[in-house]
Amino acid sequence: MRLKFTSVFVDDQDKALKFYTEILGFVKKTDISVGEYRWLTVVSPEEPEGTELLLEPNDNPAAKTFQKALFEQRISSTLFVVDDIQKEYERMKKLGVNFTQEPTRIEPTTFAVFDDTCGNLIQIVQYNST
């Protein structure tokens, strides 16, 4: 068994695609029309054949409720691993990303949390060497 897709609910697929590619640096992998929505995925440029992140519309009332509850409770929807969290934090801050948690070291990781502008809090994590 392998993990090929994971998803994050978004309130606007176009806005999400712009944020996840232009700000976070992911690359659009798939963009297929499915009725009024799209099967829209992005991947890491470091792993173009790796796990795809589906930018999934939150139009289902259950999805909206779930997404809103996570956000209000300050729970991250997903997390991404970075090699140098301070460098990534500074790069993203310069691009106007709103961080709700600055880089914080809690062994064995350092993490930070930001608002993806699409209804989610996202965590970035650096694994610290021991």
42's tokens: 């992005």
Query: Which has the closest alpha carbon to 6: 57, 63, 56, 52?
Result: 52
| pTM as predicted | 0.93
Going by pLDDT thresholds of 50, 70 and 90, the confidence category of residue 130 is: low
Largest CA distance in the chain: 50
The domains found in the chain, sorted by start residue, are 5-127 (3.10.180.10)
Q: Quick: pLDDT tens for 67-93.
A: 999 999 999 999 999 999 999 999 999
d(CA 17, CA 22): 8
